[in-house]
Copies of this chain bind each other. A is one copy, B any other.
Amino acid sequence: MTTKTKIMKAAEELFAHGGFHHTTMRAITSKAGVNLSAVNYHFGSKEALLTAIFDMHWTPINEERVQRLSRVAKKSQEEPQPPTIEEAMRSFIEPTFALFQSGASGGYFRIIVGRALSEPDQTVREIFLHRVMPVIEMLKDLLCQAMPRTSRAEVSWKLRFALGAMSQTLTGHNQPPLFYLGEEKVSSGVVDLLIGFIVKGMQE
C-alpha cells in the first residue's frame, strides 16, 4: 500500500470519528505509520487531503445519482404522467447507501457525509455543498413535478426534512455511539425503512 493510500485510509477513519478540525496531522500520520510531512508532500495541505478523500468516494456515487435522476426526468417527459416521489427519492438515496457495502473505508466515509449537512466548519461545508447542490436541484425539480399541488417552498422544506432523516441513517452505526438510541442495527432493511418514512412523510 502506497503512502498516499495509507494516509487517506487513516484520515478517513479519523475524520469520521472526530471531525475535520479535531483531527490533527500528527494523529493522521501516526495512524498511517508515515512521516508527519508526508501529508503536505503528497496532498499539499490538510484541506486538500479532505478534498481528495471526498472526491474518491463521492464522484462515482454522484454519477450514478445523476444518471438515475436523468432517467426518471426523461421518462416523465415522454409519458404523460409525472414521476412519483418514491422513484425520485430512490434514485437519490440508494446510490448513497452503496457506501454501506463498499468495504471498510466507505463505511467511514458515510459518517463524514452524514455529518456534512449540519457541519459548522466552513472548510468541510464548502467542499460538501459545492458537490451536492447541483444534484439536489435536480431532485427538487423532480419532486415539484411529483407534488404539483405543493408550493416549491414547501417541497424545499420537505426535502430538507428528508435529508435530515437520511443524515441520521448515514451516521447511524452501532459503535461508537454518536447518537445511539440503543435499538438500531444498520442493515439493508434500514434503507427501505428510511425511504418508506420519507415517501409517506412527503405525500400531499
- Taking beta carbons and an 8 Å cutoff, which residues of A are in contact with B? 17-19, 21-22, 114-115, 117-122, 125, 129, 136, 140, 152-169, 171-172, 178-179, 181-185, 190, 193-194, 196-198, 200-203
Contact = CB atoms under 8 A, between A and B. Distances in A.
Contacts of A125: 178-179
A82 B55 CA distance: 49
How many copies of this chain does the complex contain? 2
Given A125-B179, A164-B169, 19 more contacts: A22-B121, A117-B179, A118-B167, A118-B168, A118-B171, A118-B178, A118-B179, A120-B178, A129-B179, A157-B193, A160-B169, A160-B179, A161-B165, A164-B164, A164-B167, A164-B168, A197-B201, A200-B200, A201-B201
B121 A190 contact: no
5 contacts: A119-B178, A156-B183, A157-B184, A158-B197, A167-B168
> SS class of chain A's interface: helix, strand, loop or mixed?
helix
A183 B141 CA distance: 12
Nearest to A19: B120
Contacts of A194: 157, 161
A154 to B, nearest CB: 7
Contact of A118 (B115, B152, B181, B196): B115
A19 B193 CA distance: 32
Contacts of A152: 183
A168 B161 contact: yes
A24 to B, nearest CB: 12
A23 to B, nearest CB: 9
A203 B201 CA distance: 9
